[in-house]
Amino acid sequence: MSNPQDPYGQQPNPYGQQPDPYAQPDPYAQGGYPYGYGQQQNPYAQQPYQQGYQQQGYQYPGQAPQGQPPQKPKRTGLFVAIGVAVVLVIAVAIAAVVMVMNSGSEGGGTAAPTTSAAATTSGGATGASCGMPGTGLASDITDRVASGPLSFPVSAAPGWEKESYTVYAQSIAAAGLQKSTGDGQSWQAGAEVGQTNFGSKLDPKDAAARMIQCIADGAGYNSATSRRVEQNAPETITVDGVSAAKVTGKILVTAPNVTVPGDDVTVVVIASAPQTYAMIVIPIGRDDMAATGKAILDSLKVAKDV
């Protein structure tokens, strides 16, 4: 893996300012009111016989009464136009909601626990399946690399240095060591212990099965142009007399200026309180680093009074 950086940088907002889908067109914008507001002939203009009392003539059948006002204009067309505009606005709003829902559903799929002897996955794990985000910063170390009740001695990995960023981004109080391949490639091995941060406490097998995909989706593999996970089914083990689960697998990558095909990954989740994990990441083909990773796993200790 490459040196993980802070995976929580601000991302640009993919949703720019959009036009208001609820704006209604002005039904009077074109064509105007069907009757102008100019001077009209006064239907009640003064009639003959202005002097004295006005005489009312005999009205023949069928003859319109004198002084009758013009009929009011029919507004059926106006109401139809307004109705069409409202329907269009509703249709635009529905289309916008559907587009937002579709864009959200196109994110990564949830990584399910492995049930077969070996599984291959390429989809991303969701935040819910990996746990709540941690700070990303690694904790300090002394002569031991520790998190909660789980630890291993620094002496188990001679020549390895303290990591600055956690490999498993959703961890709590993680700490670890790292070692560059030393052949000019920007690739390195890593060993880390930490505490899981799932929404609810998971069975160690379930937690371990989820974590390899989460690690592959993390900052340590941001430089890879492609990545693929192959992992085995979880197995039950004990660590320093405490029940635990172990999952092994590979993260296969293609990355610029990197000739290694990827990493061998081992995740061990301890049934401790709080729940802890140990993770070993070794570049494929580096037997010397693999021997160091095995020594770290063999030296894991669980404090019994925590």
Cα–Cα dist 214/111, whole Å:
8
Least confident residue range of 32-41, 233-242, 245-254, 259-268: 32-41
Reported as a pLDDT band with limits 50, 70 and 90, residue 229 is: very high
Distance of alpha carbon 275 from alpha carbon 131, whole angstroms: 13
Give yes or no for residue 20 having a pLDDT over 90.
Answer: no
17, amino acid identity: Q
Structure tokens at 239: 């660590």
Which residues does 256 contact at the CB level (< 8 Å), separation at least 6? Answer: 223, 225
What is d(CA 176, CA 247) in angstroms, rounded to the nearest whole number? 19
Q: Tell me how far apart the 2 most distant CA atoms of the chain are, in Å.
A: 127
Neighbouring C-alpha atoms within 13 Å toward the C-beta of 241: 5
Q: Do residues 132 and 96 lie in contact, with contact meaning Cβ atoms separated by under 8 Å?
A: no
| pLDDT of 71 over the 90 cut | no
Tokens, residue 285: 């083909």
Q: What was the pLDDT predicted at 237?
A: 98
pLDDT in tens, 163-192: 988 888 889 999 999 999 988 888 999 999
Q: Choose between 56 and 221: higher pLDDT.
A: 221
Distance, CA of 249 to CA of 252 (rounded, Å): 10
- 262-279 pLDDT, tens digit per residue, is 999 999 999 999 999 999
pLDDT attached to residue 76: 64
Q: Which is more confidently placed, 167 or 33?
A: 167
Out of 47-51, 96-100, 134-138, 195-199, pick the least confident: 47-51
CA 226 to chain centre: 19
pLDDT at res. 123: 46
Helix/strand/coil (H/E/C) assignment for every residue in the chain: CCCCCCCCCCCCCCCCCCCCCCCCCCCCCCCCCCCCCCCCCCCCCCCCCCCCCCCCCCCCCCCCCCCCCCCCCCCHHHHHHHHHHHHHHHHHHHHHHHHHHHHHHCCCCCCCCCCCCEEEECCCCCHHHHCCCCCCECCCCCCEEEECCEEEEHHHCCCCEECCECCCCCCEEEEEEEEECCCCCCCEEEEEEEECCCCCCCCHHHHHHHHHHHHHCCHHHCCCCEEEEEEECCEEEEECCEEEEEEEEEEEEECCCCCCCEEEEEEEEECCCCCEEEEEEEECCCHHHHHHHHHHHHCCEECCCC
d(CA 219, CA 76): 64
The CATH homologous superfamily to which domain 118-302 belongs is: Mog1/PsbP, alpha/beta/alpha sandwich (3.40.1000.10)
Q: 70 pLDDT exceeds 80? A: no
Name the range with the highest mean pLDDT among 54-63, 65-74, 108-117, 221-230: 221-230
The residue with greater pLDDT, 95 or 137, is: 137
pLDDT in tens, 112-128: 333 334 455 544 454 45
Would you list the domain boundaries of the chain? Answer: 73-106, 118-302
Pick 256 or 306 by higher pLDDT: 256
CA within 13 Å, CB half, 252: 7
